């Protein structure tokens, strides 16, 4: 099934916005085992758009179109589809009813401008939009099935999942066929190292297609599979997941598409523990990521972003002697920072980072990319040093933050639940 | 001049990566006054790629192609171009020389695999790549000029600027024509409000094409102009910039494409002042943004991310009475937070935020989207309250952080330099 994506809109075509809709559609379509052969973006212009639709109809079996279904004059996708199919636009009663229901829910009158959105090409089938004003539609042109969806990402995504993917499955006459994707998130190994560890995967699990995606600083391993027995497929995924874990161990941080900060939060909740952070070079990024997780106030108490040495001394109680003797970027300093933030916050765990994000500030002994991480727990304090000699300032802040969270995560997963009932004492 | 962009690569087509190359090329091309009519992405497949090239050659005057020039077997752009043009590949001596020079600089031997990259379509002209192994090339196919560039963003961007844009200017026979773009960054007005304020701009400055781009939570106003006299064009931009400023005032935060945090940093440096922040709901995002700016350690001292009330009390010295009486999200509380962080850090300015980022935690009196901002300076303390009733948790964190930085920025621009020499006392 030759499948293509067509994005419409001057803003995408002109580079004003980066087209993440096409990437989302491609990902979801490839997840059900269909390759996207081509992506096209055309301006909001009836001649260009209808021409592109006609060409695609000759080449493709399925085309997913997004954008240009809004109420204003520059929304010309419906007209272009009608022109390409050689039909007229007509008021679609299903589309109009859906819009009436939507506006009633908002308690707003339906405007003339919006009524234009219920004009669909003759012979098309309305695809209901339950969260926006623009209905979608599908229609066959020269034997190719076109799905027209709005460009608003949240509406497009919902309609793709609810209206388009089931119809594509039906088109393929494979209503009893199932597609599954499993993502395993990894931090601490390069893509080629992961690859090497899993080199005999295909021999062991021939029914699963293996994929790798780098999402700096993480690697995502993907399983793609297709079959008739959901339970058998789920069992196969579980077995293959365990096999991967045996090979690369705790470098796997999630089998559930959790972010590193989600995962740290989940483990802290499990342990009924709390966290405070002391950040220098990451400049608040660790706290920002932790607090992006809804409900993080249950375990995240505070972060002291002590950029200046005076703040390290005054806020965290780091010893001026230590700073003089070993400097701000050192295992001893970050241990004192971690102890300090744990003390002022009363948190179960304190993590601290101090490093050189660059571009300036490096030396032979401590080059740009050097990061020291301290971890203070009720019964131990540890200091680490690493060097990440790549990327720019932002990439270094990102990998420093991920590394600090990962050190805590590895501690939390090895936490013994037998002792969970013992009250943690705050000794330092 | 009908101009199109062609991106190659399975990873873009399959949605594994979002295609930011196409958006970059489109932006740069539109900046020189040429519209991009269409963007296409095709898989690394000789048949599909040569077919797409042939079609484009029929339609377009200029096509910019990116990707597929690497050394591996799945890099098939050169072969596809040759096939579309009906010519053979041949060793290009200029390409080979450039590569030899590049590998010599790296002190690495040139490999057979890389030599493949010097095979270019007969009749093409090599475009030198000074920072990577893959040379680009340009060639005419059926009267359309194709520019082939590597897919590595940093290489593509440099070659686009150095090799492609001047050739396009020459193609247009407009070697004495100049294109200018000016961006004015705005925060505090909606796009439609900016539009209304500038409704008579075209009447006043007919030589400038006006554009608007929303980059949440900012609005960017764009001037596009073309002409022969650089000086006259610069004067026109300056005059129009002043006119815009008269209309929308200090809602303009940069004429230089600075970010809000760049701008706050620049103003703090000008005043030789320092800053500390106390963050609750923004969770470190303000500090993270401030420290994304290289050299920010010159003025940014620390942030206390006091998520828990205990941290507000223990770290910042907020009065438990205040918290009991008015709650964490209140003008009084953020004033105490701002005073507190200024005291513990010794900074000139302290800014504090506390609000409800959601999705939970809202009430009738303080709905999700409520944000209180406190500002403590040597000679005043102020508290503000706003409500941003849109977006999700991440968008709210973003607009809260921008609003806090913007309040400080507006204070800093009105700072009187006559008093700069007066030593600032730390009274509260």
Mean pLDDT of all residues in B335-341? 98
Evaluate if residue A424 carries a pLDDT over 90: no
- Nearest Cα residue in chain B from A31: B14
Best A31, A56, A59, A283 member to test B by mutation, with max B CBs in 10 Å, is A283
Q: Is A425 part of a structural domain of the chain?
A: no
Q: Measured between beta carbons, which residues in chain A are less than 8 angstroms from residue B292?
A: 283, 393-394, 397
A142/A268 same-domain check = no
Q: Is A340 part of a structural domain of the chain?
A: yes
**Nearest C-alpha of chain B: how many angstroms from A160?**
15
Beta carbons of A360 and B295 less than 8 Å apart: yes
Among A36, A302, A358, the residue with its CB nearest the CB of B13 is: A36
Beta carbons of B315 and A345 less than 8 Å apart: yes
A79/A211 same-domain check = no
Q: Measured between beta carbons, which residues in chain A are less than 8 angstroms from residue B43?
A: 35, 37-38
Mean pLDDT of all residues in B201-218? 88
- Greater confidence (B334 vs A194) lies with B334
pLDDT (0 to 100) of residue B174? 60
Which is it for strands A3-8 and A125-127: parallel, antiparallel or unpaired?
unpaired
Token match 């002994």: residue? A365
B364/B249 same-domain check = no
- Nearest Cα residue in chain A from B342: A311
Q: Could you tell me which of B108, B8, B118 has the C-alpha nearest to residue B71?
A: B118
Return the C-alpha torsion angle B90, B94, B99, B105, nearest 10: 170
**Nearest C-alpha of chain A: how many angstroms from B304?**
5
**Which of A227, A254, A281 marks a domain boundary?**
A254
**Nearest C-alpha of chain B: how many angstroms from A371?**
16
Beta carbons of B16 and A27 less than 8 Å apart: yes
Q: What's chain A's average pLDDT?
A: 90
B189/B157 same-domain check = no
A339/A296 same-domain check = yes
Beta carbons of B305 and A308 less than 8 Å apart: no
- Greater confidence (B361 vs B238) lies with B238
Q: How many domains does chain B have?
A: 3
Q: Measured between beta carbons, which residues in chain A are less than 8 angstroms from residue B14?
A: 26-27, 30, 35-36
Q: Is A427 part of a structural domain of the chain?
A: no
Query: ipTM of this predicted complex?
Result: 0.77
Evaluate if residue B357 carries a pLDDT over 50: yes
> Which residues does B348 contact at the CB level (< 8 Å), separation at least 6?
B268, B271, B273, B274, B275, B342, B377, B378, B424
Q: Measured between beta carbons, which residues in chain A are less than 8 angstroms from residue B12?
A: 23, 39
**Nearest C-alpha of chain B: how many angstroms from A63?**
14
The percentage of residues in chain A with a pLDDT greater than 70, rounded to a whole number, is 96
Among A22, A25, A294, the residue with its CB nearest the CB of B360 is: A294
**Nearest C-alpha of chain A: how many angstroms from B93?**
33
A158/A228 same-domain check = no
Q: How confident is the model at residue A348 (pLDDT cuts 50, 70, 90)?
A: very high
Burial zone of B379 (CB within 10 Å; 0-12 exposed, 13-18 middle, 19+ buried): exposed
User: Which stretches does DSSP call E strand in B289-422?
Assistant: 300-306, 349-355, 370-376, 381-387
Q: What is the pLDDT of residues B261-276, one digit of tens each?
A: 999 999 999 999 999 9
Q: Is B244 part of a structural domain of the chain?
A: yes
- Greater confidence (B363 vs A131) lies with B363
Which CATH number fits the domain that encloses residue B100? 3.40.980.10
B190/B157 same-domain check = no
Q: CA dist B142 to B69, B211, B363, Å?
A: 22, 34, 66
Q: Is B426 part of a structural domain of the chain?
A: no
B69/B118 same-domain check = yes
Rg of chain B over Cα atoms, rounded to whole angstroms, equals 27
Q: CA dist A329 to A368, B129, B301, Å?
A: 11, 39, 16
Among A30, A304, A314, the residue with its CB nearest the CB of B15 is: A30
pLDDT (0 to 100) of residue A176? 54
The percentage of residues in chain A with a pLDDT greater than 90, rounded to a whole number, is 66
Mean pLDDT of all residues in A241-265? 96
Residues facing residue B66 across a β-bridge: B7, B149
CA–CA gap between residue A8 and residue A44 (Å, rounded): 6
Beta carbons of A15 and B36 less than 8 Å apart: yes
Mean pLDDT of all residues in B404-424? 72
Q: What's chain B's average pLDDT?
A: 90
**Which of A171, A203, A223 marks a domain boundary?**
A171
B153/B194 same-domain check = no
- Nearest Cα residue in chain B from A45: B37
Domain of residue B81 covers 3-171
Evaluate if residue B173 carries a pLDDT over 80: no
Beta carbons of B307 and A297 less than 8 Å apart: yes
B249/B269 same-domain check = no
Q: Measured between beta carbons, which residues in chain B are less than 8 angstroms from residue A20?
A: 18
Q: What is the pLDDT of residues B116-157, one digit of tens each?
A: 888 999 999 999 988 888 899 999 999 999 999 999 888 899
Q: Which helix (H) or strand (E) holds B147?
A: strand B144-149
Q: How confident is the model at residue B420 (pLDDT cuts 50, 70, 90)?
A: very low
Q: Is A61 part of a structural domain of the chain?
A: yes
> Which residues does B205 contact at the CB level (< 8 Å), separation at least 6?
B236, B239, B240, B243
The size of chain A, in residues, is 428
Q: Is A124 part of a structural domain of the chain?
A: yes
A14/A151 same-domain check = yes
Which CATH number fits the domain that encloses residue A234? 3.30.70.2860
Q: Can you spell out the DSSP letters for A188-231?
A: SS-HHHHHHHTTTHHHH-TTSEEEEEEETTEEEEEEEEEES-HH
Beta carbons of B314 and A344 less than 8 Å apart: yes
Beta carbons of B38 and A52 less than 8 Å apart: yes
Best B32, B41, B47 member to test A by mutation, with max A CBs in 10 Å, is B41
Q: Could you tell me which of B373, B367, B406, B410 has the C-alpha nearest to residue B389?
A: B367
* Coil vs helix vs strand at A107: coil
Beta carbons of B305 and A304 less than 8 Å apart: yes
- Greater confidence (B330 vs A210) lies with B330
Cis status, amide bond into A397, omega within 30 of 0: no
Evaluate if residue A418 carries a pLDDT over 70: no
Q: How confident is the model at residue A63 (pLDDT cuts 50, 70, 90)?
A: very high
Q: Is A356 part of a structural domain of the chain?
A: yes
Best B28, B64, B311 member to test A by mutation, with max A CBs in 10 Å, is B311
Evaluate if residue A427 carries a pLDDT over 80: no
CA–CA gap between residue B43 and residue A174 (Å, rounded): 26
Among A20-24, A192-196, B68-72, the range with the most confident prediction by mean pLDDT is A20-24
**Which of A236, A254, A272 marks a domain boundary?**
A254
Which is it for strands B381-387 and B370-376: parallel, antiparallel or unpaired?
antiparallel
Which CATH number fits the domain that encloses residue B327? 3.90.950.20
Q: Measured between beta carbons, which residues in chain B are less than 8 angstroms from residue A315?
A: 302, 304, 315, 344-345
Best A33, A53, A300, A311 member to test B by mutation, with max B CBs in 10 Å, is A311
B165/B183 same-domain check = no
Token match 């009065």: residue? B319
């Amino acid at each position: 099934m030759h499948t293509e994506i067509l994005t419409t809109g001057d803003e995408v075509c002109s580079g004003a916005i980066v087209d993440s809709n096409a990437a989302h559609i491609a990902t979801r379509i490839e997840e059900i085992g269909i390759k996207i052969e081509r992506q096209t973006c055309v301006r909001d212009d009836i001649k260009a758009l209808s021409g592109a639709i006609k060409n695609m109809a000759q080449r493709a079996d399925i085309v997913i179109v997004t954008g240009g279904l809004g109420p204003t004059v520059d929304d010309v996708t419906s007209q272009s589809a009608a022109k390409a199919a050689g039909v007229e636009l007509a008021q679609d009663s299903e589309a109009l009813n859906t819009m009436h229901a939507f506006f009633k829910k908002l308690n707003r009158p339906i405007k003339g401008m919006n009524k234009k959105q219920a004009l669909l090409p003759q012979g098309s089938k309305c695809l209901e939009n339950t969260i926006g004003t623009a209905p979608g539609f599908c229609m066959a042109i020269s034997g190719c099935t076109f799905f027209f969806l709005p460009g608003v990402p949240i509406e497009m995504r919902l309609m793709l999942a609810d209206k388009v993917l089931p119809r594509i499955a039906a088109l393929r006459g494979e209503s009893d066929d199932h597609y599954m994707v499993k993502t395993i998130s990894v931090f601490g190994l390069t893509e080629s190292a992961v690859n090497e560890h899993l080199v005999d995967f295909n021999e062991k699990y021939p029914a699963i297609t293996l994929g790798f995606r780098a999402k700096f600083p993480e690697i995502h391993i993907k399983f793609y599979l297709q079959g008739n027995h959901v339970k058998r497929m789920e069992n196969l995924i579980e077995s293959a997941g365990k096999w991967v874990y045996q090979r690369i161990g705790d470098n796997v941080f999630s089998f559930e598409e959790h972010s590193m900060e989600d995962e740290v939060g989940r483990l802290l909740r499990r342990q009924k523990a709390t966290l405070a952070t002391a950040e220098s070079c990451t400049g608040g990024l660790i706290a920002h990521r932790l607090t992006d997780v809804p409900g993080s106030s249950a375990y995240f108490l505070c972060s002291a972003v002590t950029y200046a040495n005076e703040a390290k001394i005054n806020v965290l109680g780091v010893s001026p002697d230590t700073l003089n003797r070993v400097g701000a970027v050192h295992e001893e300093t970050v241990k004192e920072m971690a102890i300090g933030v744990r003390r002022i916050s009363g948190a179960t765990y304190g993590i601290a980072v101090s490093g050189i994000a660059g571009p300036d500030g490096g030396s032979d002994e401590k080059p740009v990319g050097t990061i020291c991480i301290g971890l203070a727990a009720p019964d131990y304090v540890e200091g680490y040093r690493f060097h990440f000699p790549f990327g720019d300032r932002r990439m270094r802040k990102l990998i420093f933050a991920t590394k600090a969270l990962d050190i805590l995560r590895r501690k939390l997963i090895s936490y013994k639940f037998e002792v969970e009932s013992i009250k943690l004492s705050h000794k330092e």
